[in-house]
Amino acid sequence: MHTLDQLNRGELKGVVRLQLSENLSTFPEAIFDLADSLEILDLSNNNLRELPADLSRLKKLRIIFCSNNRFTQLPTVLGQCEKLEMIGFKSNQISIVPSDSLPALTRWLILTDNQIESLPEDFGRLVRLQKLALAGNRLTSLPESIIHCRKLELVRLSANQLVAFPDVLLDLPRLAWLAFSGNPFCAERDSHHDFKRVQFCDLECHQVLGQGASGVISLATWRKNTFHFSDSVAIKIFKGEVTSDGYPEDELDACLSVGSHNNLVQPLAKVAEDDCSALVMELIPVHYTNLGQPPSLVSCTRDTFLMSQQFSIDKIARIIQQVDQLVAHFCEKKISHGDLYAHNTLINEEGHVLFGDFGAASKYANLSPQQQQGVERIERRAVGFFIDDMLGLCIEKDRNSDLYKALRSHSFS
């Protein structure tokens, strides 16, 4: 994080990335002094309502984040920035997205948690677009031209006002991660009245174990253990009314609807109070670690991995077999996970994997048979990307094996 004083004193000359959060209500003119170097501009968590008309003076600008501000329209000046490819305006009050606000090079567009009712009819001209996050808006439909966004791989449409499933998405050849719960066309949530309930005051929270788009997971112990669960558990406390993946209520519904499986973290009880929604789960043993790391600004939709990670082809095959079996289980339950990624996968030394995050999950049993098949094709495509990532971690001596070649034929590279 930088400061306005540093900027005004000229101490940031030559920086590639600038991050300012100081309740700004106007765009600092001194930012233009960085025009020869600045590529990433993060002005999130301020009080901005507009950007300067000459923003394109930042001739190297590739990425801009202005989340948690007061914009009511996506600024048209963005479309004049020739190198701009990543745009993030989450949690503003945006209701209008003009066509000329979207640069032709856009490949990452995050407009989660706004008030958008429609996208430009010529949206399909964004042929480089890979990641599109629109959860928590007021969309009633998508423009048909989106069919031309052939590189789209991740789409978030949950918590909108879509009156019908957007069939146009089923023809996108690379779409692999789709979330659409919480729309009028979706089936009603199951109340899960028979699932165990506890009170938040029954638990004592300790250190944070991890967090994602939808909530924070902490270690917890019992003050009052009515159901005689293990002394130590994990509790996921959901964030707010809407997240980047959708409504917490839909995540909870999907998690409970999918049932038990050897590769799923077991839910134990739920907390449903006016000021707290949470899920109590089995505590994952400490020897399980994350299989991958989240996508970066460079990789966009694809996971990243530690330089030291390598597996034998036999271990990779075992990992893939478990994911295949889990996806078959999801299909049987008519639930799309929507976020099948290595960074959402935990693994132990023996190669056993666990999934537990259903933030992007969507129930689809109410869709037509053709739509159901399309949703399942999208989910299988995510498995193909997963296989491709795993094979990229294969030790060199196993890359000529028949097993490696067989798995490669099922990847989506």
Q: Is residue 193 part of a domain?
A: no
Region 315-335 average pLDDT:
97
Q: Establish if 177 belongs to a structural domain.
A: no
273, 259 contact by CB (below 8 A): no
First to last CA, the chain: 37
What's the burial of 102, exposed, middle or buried (CB within 10 Å: 0-12/13-18/19+)? buried
Answer yes or no: is 170 within a domain. Answer: no
Per-residue pLDDT for 273 more than 90? no
Same domain, 293 and 262: no
376 pLDDT higher than 90: yes
CATH number at residue 247: 3.30.200.20
- Specify whether 273 is located in the same domain as 353: no
pLDDT at residue 324 is higher than 70? yes
The annotation status of 236 as a binding-site residue, yes or no, is: yes
Per-chain mean pLDDT for the chain: 95
- Same domain for 259 and 312, yes or no, is no
**Are 330 and 220 members of one domain?**
no
Which of 152, 170, 190 is the endpoint of a domain? 152
Would residue 187 count as lying in a domain?
Answer: no
Last residue of a domain, one of 231, 263, 281: 281
User: Which residues, 6 or more positions from 246, have their beta carbon under 8 angstroms from its beta carbon?
Assistant: 135, 136, 156, 158, 159, 179, 181, 182, 359, 360
- What is the domain extent for residue 248? 200-281
The answer to whether position 48 is within a domain reads: yes
CB 244 within 8 A of CB 135: yes
Answer yes or no: are the C-beta atoms of 234 and 212 closer than 8 Å. no
Confidence band, pLDDT 50/70/90 cuts, at residue 8: very high
| Number of other CB atoms surrounding residue 286 within 10 Å | 8
**Mean pLDDT score, 196-205:** 93
- Which of 371, 361, 297, 309 has its CA nearest to residue 108? 297
Q: Which of 278, 285, 303 is nearest to 293 (CA)?
A: 303
Judgement on whether residues 214 and 67 belong to the same structural domain of the protein: no
Domain count, the chain: 3
**Given a cut of 70, is residue 413 above it in pLDDT?**
no
Mean pLDDT of 148-167: 98
59 and 97 assigned to the same domain? yes
Task: Specify the pLDDT at position 239.
Answer: 78
Q: 402 in a domain, yes or no?
A: yes
Higher pLDDT among residues 277 and 320, named by residue? 320
Q: Which two tokens stand for residue 154?
A: 């991740």
- Say yes or no: 314 and 276 in one domain: no
pLDDT at residue 213 greater than cutoff 80: no
Q: What pLDDT, on the 0 to 100 scale, is given for residue 396?
A: 96
Of 30-39, 226-235, 270-279, 280-289, which range is least confident? Answer: 270-279
- Residue 412 CA to residue 382 CA, distance in Å, equals 8
* 325 and 223 together in one domain: no
- Contact at 8 Å (CB) between 143 and 120? yes
Lowest mean pLDDT among 33-37, 118-122, 191-195: 191-195
**pLDDT score recorded for residue 312:** 97
Asked if residue 293 and residue 241 are part of one domain, the reply reads no
pLDDT at 412: 82
- Residue where one domain finishes, among candidates 281, 308, 334: 281
Sheet holding 232-238, edge to edge: 203-211, 215-222, 232-238, 276-281, 267-273
DSSP string, 2-49: B-HHHHHTTTTTT-SEEEB-S--SS--GGGGGGTTT--EEE--SS---
Tell me, what CATH number does 355's domain have? 1.10.510.10
Q: Is residue 139 part of a domain?
A: yes
> Residue 181: is its pLDDT beyond 70?
yes
Averaged pLDDT for residues 102-129: 97
Instruction: Label residue 189 by pLDDT band (50, 70, 90).
Output: very high
Residue 361 pLDDT greater than 80, yes or no: yes
Q: Domain for residue 15, yes or no?
A: yes
| pLDDT for position 4 | 93
Same domain, 83 and 110: yes
Q: How confident is the model at residue 211 (pLDDT cuts 50, 70, 90)?
A: confident
Task: Report pLDDT for 86.
Answer: 98
Tokens of 274: 């006016």
pLDDT band at 243 (very low <50, low <70, confident <90, very high): confident
Q: Please count the residues of the chain.
A: 413
Residues 6+ apart with CB under 8 A from 301: 130, 131, 153, 154, 176, 177, 295
In this predicted model, what pLDDT tens digit does every residue of 103-115 receive, in sequence order?
999 999 999 999 9
Average pLDDT value for residue range 310-319: 97
Is the per-residue pLDDT at 120 higher than 90?
Answer: yes
Same domain, 364 and 333: yes
Same domain, 277 and 299: no
Question: Which CATH number is 72's domain given?
Answer: 3.80.10.10
